[in-house]
Amino acid sequence: MKDKVFAEGFIISMRIGTLSDLHIDRNKWELEDGETTLSILSTLIKEKAVDVLLIAGDISNHYLESHAFLEKLAEESRIPVKFVPGNHDYWAKEHDITDSHEINDFFNKQSYSLVGKPYDIDDNWAVVGTPGWYDYGYADQDKYSEAQFEKKKYGFASWNDLHFVNWNQKDKDVSQAMLNQLYRDLHSVKDKKIILMTHVATHPEFVVPLPHRIYNYANAFLGAKGYEAVYNDFESIKYSIMGHVHFRKVVRESERTFISPCLGSSKHWTDKRLKNQLEKSLVTFDL
C-alpha cells in the first residue's frame, strides 16, 4: 500500500483503526431505524478514513458468529480487517466443539488471522498478532498460589473460562505456546516497524492496580506478564494494541504507544447508543 497523494500535493499516510471487545451477542445497545452493528461500524470506518482495521478479539461468544461478522465487515468496509481471537471467541457455550484447539485452528486458517502470518502494511510496517493467554503474572503472587489460580474460583464466584474454554492444558502452557509463536512471527519481520496486537494485556498499566480486594486474584486472568519481554527484545514494536480489560486507554512511553480500544460492556454505559460508543472506542493513528 502506498501513501495517498491528492491534487493539492498533500500526502496522507496509512491510517490504522483499532477496536476490541465488541461482544455483539451480549451487549444491549440502541440503534436508529435501519441501523445495524455492521452498518454503523462500516460507516464509521469510512468517515474516519481508516485503511486497515485491527480487532483485538471478543467479537462474540460463538466462533462462527465472530467469523461471519469479520467476513461481512471486510466486505462492507472494503478494507483489510485483521483479527486475533479473544477468550470469548473460544467459548463453547452455544455449540458442541469443546476442544478450544479446534476453534483456534479454525481461526488460524482464515485470511484475517495474524497468527503465523504477519501482515505487511508496506515496505516499512508490519502487523504481528496473537490472542495471547493469561499467565497469572499480574495477580498477587504472595497471596495466592498457582494451584489457586488454576481453579479459577474466588469465593462464590468463578472466572467463566473455567466453564466454557477447554485447552486440555494448563493456562501457563497455553500462554507460553502462544508466546513462542509470537516470537517466531516477530523475528520474521524484525527489520520493519511493528504493530503488535494481542487480546490479553501485556503492560501493567492495563490491569487493575494492586492491592485490590478482588483483583489481587482476578488480575491473574487479565494479562500475560511474561509477554512484556517482547518489548525489550524488539525495539521495533512501535504500537501495541490489546483488549480484554474493557478499558479505553492510551499510554505513550518514549517511542512506543500502547492502546486499549475496547467497546466493552453496555451495562457500564450511561449512553446506550452504539454509534456514540463506537466513536469513543475506535482509536486511529497514521503511519
**In this structure, are residues 83 and 109 in contact, taking their beta carbons and an 8 Å threshold?**
no
Residue 191: count other Cβ atoms within 10 Å of its Cβ: 10
- The pTM for the full model equals 0.95
CA 66 to chain centre: 13
Note the pLDDT tens digit of each residue in 188-232: 999 999 999 999 999 999 999 999 999 999 999 999 999 999 999
The Cα–Cα gap between 128 and 113 comes to: 10
What is the predicted pLDDT for the residue at 1?
A: 43
What is the predicted pLDDT for the residue at 182?
A: 98
Question: Which cell numbers hold the place of 47?
Answer: 468517515
The Cα–Cα gap between 148 and 112 comes to: 36
The Cα–Cα gap between 66 and 23 comes to: 9
- For residue 103, give the nearest of 53, 51, 164, 45 by alpha carbon: 164
H-only helix segments in 85-127? 100-108
Q: Helix or strand or coil: residue 253? A: strand
What is the predicted pLDDT for the residue at 193?
A: 98
What is the predicted pLDDT for the residue at 28?
A: 87
Which residues 6+ apart lie within 8 Å of 101 measured at CB?
A: 167, 168
Using 70 as the pLDDT threshold, list the residues of the chain that sit under it: 1-12
For cell 457455550, name the residue: 93
Q: Helix or strand or coil: residue 50? A: coil
What is the predicted pLDDT for the residue at 99?
A: 97
The four Cα atoms 24, 25, 26, 28 give a dihedral, to 10 degrees, of 60
Note the pLDDT tens digit of each residue in 26-54: 888 888 888 899 999 999 999 999 999 99
Residue 211, preceding peptide bond in cis (omega within 30° of 0): yes
Write b or e for each residue in 161-180: b if 16 or more Cβ atoms lie within 10 A of its Cβ, otherwise e: beebbebeeebbebbbebbe
What is the predicted pLDDT for the residue at 5?
A: 52
What is the predicted pLDDT for the residue at 33?
A: 87
- For residue 166, give the nearest of 253, 75, 100, 233 by alpha carbon: 100
What is the predicted pLDDT for the residue at 8?
A: 58
**In this structure, are residues 82 and 129 in contact, taking their beta carbons and an 8 Å threshold?**
yes
What is the predicted pLDDT for the residue at 11?
A: 57
